[in-house]
Structure 1
Amino acid sequence: MASSTASRWFRPEVYPLFAAVGVAVGICGFQLIRNICINPEVRINKEGRAAGVLENYAEGEKYAEHSLRRFVRDRNPEIMPAINSFFTNPSK
């Protein structure tokens, strides 16, 4: 029975499924760790929870404006700019 289950699920056809699920689990894990470790609204210790609602706007701004967001802020929202400009500007 175990060999038939292994031969059913460990075929080359299901490797893309394993990869997609693995990437999704990795993204979820990254967000979970990021929120637990550096989100200013998440407090793990007892003293932090007892403080109630904090007015820490600077820390919240630092969390929301991370380096990736600052990097893409002044860029055009295009995936392939060369192909987009080729098809939108045919005079070139």
Structure 2
Amino acid sequence: MANRWIRPEVYPLFAAVGVVVGICGLQLVRNICINPEVRVSKEKRSAGVLENFDEGEKYAEHGLRKFVRNRDPEIMPSINTFFSDNPPS
């Protein structure tokens, strides 16, 4: 029975879905653990709305965003320049 449903052709689909589920899980854990607007414990929930802009800025400006801020939006810049730029004369 399992041989009919699990074929080698669907392994890439399983891998893609697994990666997406992993990314969603990591984002959920990130939001629960370090998002300043999410409060899980009762003590923090009773504080209400906090005006903590420094913590919000720290959450929004994470390391990956700082790393890619001043870079070109290219995945493979060397290959892009090889195929798009004019060859040297």
Give TM-score, length-normalised by structure 2.
0.90
Gaps spanning 5+ residues in structure 1: where?
none
Is residue 19 from structure 1 mapped to residue 3 from structure 2 by the alignment?
A: no
Give 1:87 deviation, angstroms: 3.4
How large is the Cα RMSD of the aligned pairs?
Answer: 1.2
1:53: which partner in 2? 49
Is residue 39 from structure 1 mapped to residue 35 from structure 2 by the alignment?
A: yes
Gaps spanning 5+ residues in structure 2: where?
none
Residue type matched to 1:11 in 2? Answer: R
Partners in 2 of 1:30 and 1:9 — Cα distance?
29
Is residue 74 from structure 1 mapped to residue 73 from structure 2 by the alignment?
A: no
Aligned residue pair count: 88
Partners in 1 of 2:84 and 2:16 — Cα distance?
33
Partners in 1 of 2:80 and 2:26 — Cα distance?
32
Partners in 2 of 1:91 and 1:18 — Cα distance?
42
